[in-house]
């Protein structure tokens, strides 16, 4: 036990030296390196595609709707500078993922495939019994299996070029406030990343997780909630338990959270860029307000009963 004492005293010094080394080492030269990003129609994926292209990367921007406004904007950017290519990509479709891999292979720049950013995701609101089994399956397929599907397809290339894999998670992986279906998928992807990160070390591939707080106003992942739509979708069994007034209260509560979200998505994109370009990227990048980080701290270090009390109080307000 006493032998561990000196190591604990040295830990802060080692962390300080590591930080200075990270800051003092030259960042990656992006020229001639390719990155594939999923979910580029809007939000963080869209912003990241533009940022990486302007930094000098060759960017493959996967869009669910290649004819949509977001994809068209990216296409115009690609026409201007020539290193950004938009491709149709539904991460739930094996055919789309394999077609994306073939396209990347046929247009690899001289330094090869550097990064995969698993950004595509969906979100919704609803208590556990309000959501159908079909909805649970859809969320698991997009948010969890979609990331796994693209990762498995591009793993050989990432190992070959000793690249980076970046996953979009959320602080909601630690707790939930009315969107347990989203929390479930993010908690699962965190564990997948933890296993993958350790396994990829021997190949020189680094795996990073981005954990944003509430950035609802800077993305289109979660629109405002309509209590009427929620009520109309409830089963008769659920309607017998809840009433319209309760559903309206929950919708108002969740909409108030959404309205408080940060509109500055560039903060999250900064973390994603660091994960791709830093000589010593972090395993996790938490980009959140102080009160959001405090909730994560309470969840991680205090007994479950304490966290339940905190969240129950928040829900009651």
What integer is the mean pLDDT of 134-158? Answer: 97
DSSP structure class, residue 38: S
pLDDT per residue over 8-51, tens digit each? 556 656 655 555 455 446 789 999 999 999 999 999 999 999 99
What integer is the mean pLDDT of 142-162? Answer: 98
Give the global pTM: 0.89
How confident is the model at residue 1, as a pLDDT? 46
Q: How many CB atoms lie within 10 A of CB 303?
A: 9
Q: Where are the alpha helices (DSSP H) in 67-119?
A: 69-81, 94-106
pLDDT per residue over 78-94, tens digit each? 887 789 999 999 999 99
**Cα gap 27→63, rounded to integer Å:** 28
Residue 140 has pLDDT above 90, yes or no: yes
How confident is the model at residue 195, as a pLDDT? 98
CB 208 within 8 A of CB 285: yes
Least trusted range by pLDDT, from 38-42, 148-152, 230-234, 268-272: 230-234
The residue ranges of every structural domain in the chain are 28-223+263-289
**172-187 as b/e, with b when 16 or more CB fall inside 10 Å?**
bbbbbbbbbbbbbbbb
- What is the average pLDDT score of the chain? 91
**Cα gap 118→199, rounded to integer Å:** 18
Q: What are the distances in angstroms from CA 316 to CA 172, 253, 311, 313?
A: 19, 9, 9, 5
Residue 210 has pLDDT above 90, yes or no: yes
**Cα gap 92→180, rounded to integer Å:** 21
Residue 203 has pLDDT above 80, yes or no: yes
Beta-ladder partners of 286: 211
Say which residue, 272 or 11, is predicted with more confidence: 272
Residue 123 has pLDDT above 60, yes or no: yes
How confident is the model at residue 19, as a pLDDT? 53
Element (DSSP H or E) covering residue 297: helix 290-301
Residues annotated catalytic, as ranges: 182
Share of the chain above pLDDT 90, in %: 73
With vertex at residue 102, the alpha carbon angle to CA 28 and CA 273, rounded to the nearest 5 degrees, is: 25
pLDDT per residue over 243-256, tens digit each? 999 999 999 989 98
How confident is the model at residue 15, as a pLDDT? 59
Share of the chain above pLDDT 70, in %: 92
Q: How confident is the model at residue 71 (pLDDT cuts 50, 70, 90)?
A: very high
| Domain with residues 28-223+263-289, CATH architecture | 3-Layer(aba) Sandwich (3.40)
What integer is the mean pLDDT of 183-204? Answer: 97
The first and second tokens of residue 21, run together, are 């080394």
How confident is the model at residue 9, as a pLDDT? 55
**Cα gap 26→142, rounded to integer Å:** 36
CB 47 within 8 A of CB 41: no
What integer is the mean pLDDT of 95-117? Answer: 97
With vertex at residue 205, the alpha carbon angle to CA 203 and CA 208, rounded to the nearest 5 degrees, is: 150
What integer is the mean pLDDT of 281-307? Answer: 92
What integer is the mean pLDDT of 170-175? Answer: 94
Q: How confident is the model at residue 222 (pLDDT cuts 50, 70, 90)?
A: confident
CB 57 within 8 A of CB 279: no
């Amino acid at each position: 036990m006493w032998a561990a004492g000196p190591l604990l005293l040295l830990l802060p010094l080692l962390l300080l030296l590591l930080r200075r080394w990270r800051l003092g080492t030259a960042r990656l030269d992006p020229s001639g390196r390719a990155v594939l990003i999923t979910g580029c129609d809007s939000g963080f994926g869209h912003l990241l595609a533009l940022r990486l292209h302007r930094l000098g990367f060759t960017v493959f921007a996967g869009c669910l709707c290649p004819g949509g406004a977001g994809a068209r904007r990216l296409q115009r950017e690609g026409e201007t500078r020539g290193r950004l290519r938009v491709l149709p990509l539904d991460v739930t479709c094996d055919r789309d993922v394999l077609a994306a891999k073939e396209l990347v292979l046929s247009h690899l720049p001289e330094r090869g495939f550097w990064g995969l950013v698993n950004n595509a995701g969906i979100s919704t609101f609803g208590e556990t019994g309000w959501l159908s089994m079909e909805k649970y399956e859809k969320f698991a397929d997009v948010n969890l299996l979609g990331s796994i599907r693209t990762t498995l397809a591009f793993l050989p290339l990432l190992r070959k070029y000793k690249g980076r894999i970046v996953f979009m998670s959320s602080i909601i992986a630690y707790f939930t406030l009315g969107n347990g279906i989203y929390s479930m998928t993010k908690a699962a992807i965190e564990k997948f990343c933890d296993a993958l990160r350790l396994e990829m070390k021997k190949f020189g591939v680094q795996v990073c997780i981005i954990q944003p707080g509430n950035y609802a106003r800077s993305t289109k992942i979660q629109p405002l909630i309509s209590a009427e739509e929620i009520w109309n979708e409830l089963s008769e069994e659920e309607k017998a338990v809840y009433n319209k007034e309760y559903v309206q209260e929950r919708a108002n509560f969740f909409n108030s959270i959404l309205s408080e979200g940060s509109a500055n998505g560039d903060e999250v994109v900064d973390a994603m860029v660091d994960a791709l370009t830093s000589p010593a990227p972090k395993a996790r990048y938490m980009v959140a307000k102080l009160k959001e980080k405090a909730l994560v701290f309470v969840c991680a270090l205090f007994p479950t009963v304490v966290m339940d009390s905190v969240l129950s109080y928040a829900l009651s307000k």
